[in-house]
């Protein structure tokens, strides 16, 4: 009886559609992103579009809502008084409500299916929103930047996407970044 319950539990965990589609995110990596995201805005031409508050949009699938809230909380905790005299407006949005990100300086994209990612990047690029993703694989889809996490944390910039979107980056940031070239396969 105990073996049957154990086997059934494993089956439910492994083959549950919700468990299969949920992404797992590393808390330490989220900490790093939470410290870097506002700085990317300040080191880009996006700082010129800040009105009263620095607007950061966090896009997620419903299954990742808690993780998106965690990232938002981490940004607030790291910068309780804002950064460089800028307070934050943090928007957490499901991919189905991406219109709420139109005026953001930066949109952080959690993993999603290819259709969501492609349509989101098109809309965000059309509105000149800097895009940053959790996963480097989305650089091939046109995301502007992510982080390369190895022995050191290194920004990973898609210069083609940035140029197409009319976003300029501080030269210092570009010099310390790993540059994504189409066909890198990452």
Contact status, residue 40 vs residue 132, Cβ threshold 8 Å: yes
How confident is the model over 86-112, as pLDDT tens digits? 999 999 999 999 999 999 999 999 999
Q: CA 85 from chain center: how many Å?
A: 23
Q: Supply the pTM of this predicted model.
A: 0.85
Residues of the chain with pLDDT under 50: 2, 4-22, 185-186
pLDDT at 184: 53
Average pLDDT, the chain: 88
Sheet holding 153-158, edge to edge: 87-94, 53-60, 106-109, 130-133, 145-149, 153-158, 178-180
Q: Give phi and psi for 88, each to the nearest 5.
A: -105, 145
Cα–Cα distance for residue pair 109/5, rounded to 1 Å = 38
Pair of tokens at residue 50: 């800040």
The per-residue pLDDT for 181 is: 83
């Amino acid at each position: 009886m105990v073996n049957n319950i154990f086997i059934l539990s494993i089956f439910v965990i492994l083959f549950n559609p919700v468990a299969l589609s949920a992404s797992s995110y590393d808390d330490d990596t989220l900490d790093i992103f939470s410290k870097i995201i506002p700085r990317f805005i300040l080191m880009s031409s996006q700082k010129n579009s800040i009105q009263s508050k620095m607007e950061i949009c966090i896009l997620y699938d419903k299954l990742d809502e808690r993780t998106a809230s965690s990232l938002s909380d981490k940004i607030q905790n790291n910068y309780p008084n804002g950064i460089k005299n800028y307070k934050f407006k943090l928007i957490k949005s499901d991919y189905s409500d991406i219109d709420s990100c139109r005026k953001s300086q930066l949109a952080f994209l959690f993993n999603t299916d290819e259709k969501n990612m492609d349509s989101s990047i098109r809309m965000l690029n059309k509105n000149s929103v800097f895009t940053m993703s959790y996963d480097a694989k989305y650089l091939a889809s046109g995301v502007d930047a992510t982080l390369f996490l190895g022995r050191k944390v290194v920004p990973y910039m898609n210069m083609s996407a940035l140029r197409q979107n009319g976003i300029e980056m501080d030269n210092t940031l570009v010099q310390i970044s790993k540059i994504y070239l189409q066909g890198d396969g990452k």
